[in-house]
Homo-oligomer: A and B are copies of this chain.
Amino acid sequence: MSRLIEYADATPEVRAVFDAIMTARGVADVNNFWKALAVHPPTLRRTWESLREVMAPGALDPLTKELLYLAVSASNGCDYCIASHRKAAEAKGMTAEMFGELLAVVGMANETNRLANALRVPVDPAFED
């Protein structure tokens, strides 16, 4: 497991990112992902700035974005990401029923992705334009 850098031990550069995260999220501490990522301050800063931009409300609402994030994390089998983004999705309104349906779609997509690959299905011309 990685070393986790706590606020008290962080450099000013790291603290500035931690402060930005805590302010944006209205929380009193950052979660372990950020404490671990603090081993490389430039990646910490860039990742936070990118995440903030990508997850901001836009043509897709924040809950939908969080569902997509969770679906990809579940598909990739990232245990930490599944745990953290499930909590984040629930905080934004994902119900147990919605999580169940998300699971079903992720499972189904992983199944048919392999069927399509295995059968080497040629893309229909109607899908190409």
Contact = CB atoms under 8 A, between A and B. Distances in A.
Given A60-B102, A84-B127, A105-B54, A117 B42 contact: no
A127 B73 CA distance: 15
A47 interface: yes
Contact of A102 (B2, B68, B97, B110): B68
B117 A103 contact: no
Chain copies in the assembled complex:
6
Contacts of A97: 40, 58-59
30 contacts: A4-B122, A31-B124, A43-B100, A43-B107, A46-B50, A47-B112, A55-B105, A59-B97, A59-B101, A64-B67, A67-B68, A69-B109, A72-B105, A72-B106, A74-B114, A75-B76, A77-B114, A78-B116, A80-B123, A81-B109, A81-B112, A82-B120, A84-B124, A86-B127, A87-B127, A103-B119, A107-B111, A107-B114, A110-B111, A110-B114
Given A4-B122, A60-B98, 19 more contacts: A2-B119, A32-B122, A32-B124, A42-B53, A43-B100, A43-B104, A46-B53, A59-B101, A68-B71, A74-B118, A75-B76, A77-B113, A77-B114, A79-B117, A80-B117, A82-B117, A84-B127, A86-B127, A110-B113
